[in-house]
Amino acid sequence: MTMQETSGIGAPLDLAPAQPAAAQPTATALPAKPARRLPVQKDWPLWVIVTVQIAILVSFIALWQVAADYGWIDGFFWSKPSAIYATLIKFFTEGDAWVDIGFTFRSTISGFLLGTTIGSLLGLSFWWSRNYAAIVQPYLICFESLPKLALAPLVILVFGMGLASKVAIATALTLVVSTLTTYAGVKALDPDGEKLFYSLGASRWQVFRKLVVPFCLPWVISVLRVNIGLALTGAIVGEFIASQHGLGRAILYAGETYDIALVWVAVLVLSTLAIVMYGAVSWLERILRKGIRQ
Amino acid sequence: MAPVAKLRLDQVSMTFKTPAGTFRALAPVTLSITQGRFVSLIGPSGCGKSTIFNIAAGLLQPSGGRVFIDGAEATGTIGRVGYMLQKDLLLPWRKVLDNVVLGMEIQGLPLRRARERALPLLRRYGLAGFEYLYPNALSGGMRQRAALLRTLLFDTDVILLDEPFGALDAQTKLQMQEWLLALWADFNKTVVFVTHDVEEAIYLSDEVHVMASRPGRVIETIAVPIPRPRQRHVTLLPEFITIKERCLELLALDHNAAADEAA
């Protein structure tokens, strides 16, 4: 920039016609570049991050409490932290908190285990016959795209109000995901790997056990975390529709009786349960991954 | 009576049906390989070398012709020859030792006995210290060694090696050639070796079969009468160079023929 300016001003004063003509092309072709540094972001230490996170949470709760106390928000619809805390204590000391938690936990885990196991086996079974896989696939895709929760009322009718219907819904949600993911693993199998096994004189069962299953395990494992969330969703929806126990039923009941503090308590407990189960499954996944070294 | 060939392909041919019509991958090929010999197949890409291997290993049913092992028909039977594919195909979830015993394990040998047999061989043939590592910790050359030992330990007299050193750097490749020759001398196997590298083929082999493509066929068989054990400098001998020139000539010839055909 400065070069261009000085040569532009300097030219008429100089009275030498050759100079500006020679200086012009270089001046227009190369405007001076601003010196630019690589942007560097400094990482804060962990304790600062955690402190900020806690501060945000605490101020959110405090603001909620103050807003409800001073009538900025309607305390009846939104409830307030102090009321929620009182209800929480009551829920665990007087109510049947542990029955509800146990019920939701049992239906979630049963549905998760059933859906993941059956789904993975179904996915692996497609390795055995391409024809069978081709026949079954459209049905599988139909079942996947179907909003399975829409069928929940029907499931309740067939399986009743008890645990079985919740397990059935949780299973239906997890089964297809496991099947399709495991089948993706089967399809990713290198045909040369099978060739190696057959060249060693292997039977189909040996190829399945020693190659297909260990190869597909990472796919089976990769859906565990997704499935635990889906199973919980299935169990809660089942409880929403018809149930005598469970955190889903507690939320629905509290909502119907305008006990908003209890809604928050049940949601809080449910979230805690979800986090605990997610953590447990993540831990299981790490152990399994270490075991197979993929 | 003349000795029976260890591995014999009798008028083996292969045609594939494609939407564009039938494709002749392999014109009738007859190959006869004597016990204990080291034989190479060289030729341009797509000349049917891998097809021959797949047929010999029973992984592909030929369109015509038959395969004999020790004079008995073995067309379409698997597990009769050791076959090492281009990729090492080591199973990433098994330790090197457990990868190497795979063939014995499939044949029904108890795992403990298979490991006992494999362990001293791993140590003797350059994999000492790697027995209990997973394959992803190994270099390319080490992986090829493990894959080759797996093939050798699968106790068959004939082993087929499909470009085992194709992906290695020149230095490692030379080491591996020496290593393979040492193994071959110790185990007394019949080896059929596929490569693109003419010098490698001649250096290693008793006999080189030169192939041409479209359709795949053997156009000439050249004996390599250089005594063993061979030192690396045999590649500079006049007879070596004569054979090499002949091979390159044949490969170039085929190239021209294919070009004419296309024109």
- B chain contacts of residue A214, beta-carbon cutoff 8 Å: 91, 93
Out of A192, A198, A214, the one facing B89 most closely (by C-beta) is: A192
- Domain co-membership, A132 together with A247: yes
- Domain co-membership, A200 together with A100: yes
Taking the C-alpha atoms of residue A272 and residue A104, their distance in angstroms, rounded to an integer, is 12
Range of the domain at A220: 92-292
The verdict on residue A236 lying in a domain is: yes
Q: Is pLDDT larger for residue B260 or for residue A48?
A: A48
Residue B79 has pLDDT above 90, yes or no: no
The verdict on residue A208 lying in a domain is: yes
- Domain co-membership, A191 together with A71: no
Tell me whether B198 touches chain A (CB under 8 Å): no
How far CA A200 is from CA of A213, B31, B100, B108, B168, in Å, comes to: 18, 23, 12, 11, 25
Given an 8 Å threshold on Cβ–Cβ distance, is A192 in contact with B87?
yes
- A chain contacts of residue B57, beta-carbon cutoff 8 Å: 199
- Domain co-membership, A179 together with A279: yes
Given an 8 Å threshold on Cβ–Cβ distance, is B85 in contact with A195?
yes
The verdict on residue A26 lying in a domain is: no
The verdict on residue A123 lying in a domain is: yes
Query: Mean pLDDT throughout A116-140?
Result: 94
Residue B2 has pLDDT above 70, yes or no: no
pLDDT at A294: 44
Given an 8 Å threshold on Cβ–Cβ distance, is B89 in contact with A294?
no
How far CA A178 is from CA of A164, A165, A216, A225, in Å, comes to: 21, 20, 11, 11
Given an 8 Å threshold on Cβ–Cβ distance, is A206 in contact with B59?
no
| Residue of chain B whose Cα is closest to the Cα of A199 | B79
Point out the least confidently predicted range of A124-128, A186-190, B209-213.
B209-213
Given an 8 Å threshold on Cβ–Cβ distance, is B85 in contact with A206?
no
Query: Mean pLDDT throughout A69-96?
Result: 90
- B chain contacts of residue A204, beta-carbon cutoff 8 Å: none
DSSP string for residues in chain B: -PPPPSEEEEEEEEEEEETTEEEEEEEEEEEEE-TT-EEEEE--TTSSHHHHHHHHTTSS--SEEEEEETTEE-TT-SSSSEEE-SS----TTS-HHHHHTHHHHHTT--HHHHHHHHHHHHHHTT-TT-TTS-GGGS-HHHHHHHHHHHHHHS--SEEEEESTTTTS-HHHHHHHHHHHHHHHHHHT-EEEEEES-HHHHHHH-SEEEEEETTTBEEEEEEE----SSPPGGGGGSHHHHHHHHHHHHHHHHHHHHHHHHH-
Taking the C-alpha atoms of residue A29 and residue A264, their distance in angstroms, rounded to an integer, is 67
Angle at A74 between CA A70 and CA A75, to 5 degrees: 75
- A chain contacts of residue B89, beta-carbon cutoff 8 Å: 190, 192-193, 196
User: For residue A65, what pLDDT band results from cuts at 50, 70 and 90?
Assistant: very high
Residue B155 has pLDDT above 90, yes or no: no
Per-residue pLDDT reduced to its tens digit, A22-31:
445 555 667 7
Query: Mean pLDDT throughout A159-168?
Result: 92
The verdict on residue A87 lying in a domain is: no
Point out the domain boundary residue: A78, A102, A121.
Answer: A78
Is A120:A178 a contact under the CB 8 Å cutoff?
yes
pLDDT at A2: 42
Query: Mean pLDDT throughout A190-203?
Result: 92
- Domain co-membership, A202 together with A280: yes
- Domain co-membership, A73 together with A154: no
The verdict on residue A5 lying in a domain is: no
- Domain co-membership, A58 together with A158: no
B190 in the Ramachandran plot: left (φ > 0), alpha (ψ -120 to 50) or beta? beta
The verdict on residue A85 lying in a domain is: no
Q: Which of A192, A199, A211 to mutate to test the interface with B (most CBs of B within 10 A)?
A: A199
Q: Which long-range contacts (CB under 8 A, 24 or more apart) does A154-158 make?
A: A155/A238, A156/A238, A156/A241, A156/A242
Given an 8 Å threshold on Cβ–Cβ distance, is B79 in contact with A200?
yes
* Domains (range + CATH), chain B: 7-81+156-262 (3.40.50.300)
pLDDT at A14: 47
- A chain contacts of residue B92, beta-carbon cutoff 8 Å: 293-294
* Widest Cα–Cα separation across chain B: 61
User: For residue A16, what pLDDT band results from cuts at 50, 70 and 90?
Assistant: very low
Residue B131 has pLDDT above 80, yes or no: yes
Domains held by chain A: number: 2
- Domain co-membership, A199 together with A72: no
- Domain co-membership, A200 together with A288: yes
The contacts of residue B135 (CB under 8 Å, 6+ apart) are B88, B90, B91, B92, B94, B96, B99, B143, B146
Shortest Cα distance, chain B CAs vs residue A225, angstroms? 22
The verdict on residue A9 lying in a domain is: no
- Domain co-membership, A62 together with A202: no
Residue A160 has pLDDT above 80, yes or no: yes
- Domain co-membership, A124 together with A260: yes
Per-residue pLDDT reduced to its tens digit, A171-182:
999 999 999 999
Taking the C-alpha atoms of residue A122 and residue A175, their distance in angstroms, rounded to an integer, is 9
Point out the domain boundary residue: A35, A56, A78.
Answer: A78
Q: Return the structure tokens found at B173.
A: 């490749």
Residue B58 has pLDDT above 50, yes or no: yes
Query: Mean pLDDT throughout B181-208?
Result: 92
Tell me whether A202 touches chain B (CB under 8 Å): yes
pLDDT at A56: 97
DSSP A234: H
Shortest Cα distance, chain B CAs vs residue A191, angstroms? 11
Per-residue pLDDT reduced to its tens digit, A246-275:
999 999 999 999 999 999 999 999 999 999
Tell me whether B137 touches chain A (CB under 8 Å): no
Given an 8 Å threshold on Cβ–Cβ distance, is A198 in contact with B80?
no
Residue A10 has pLDDT above 60, yes or no: no
- Domain co-membership, A57 together with A199: no
Give me the CATH number covering residue A140: 1.10.3720.10
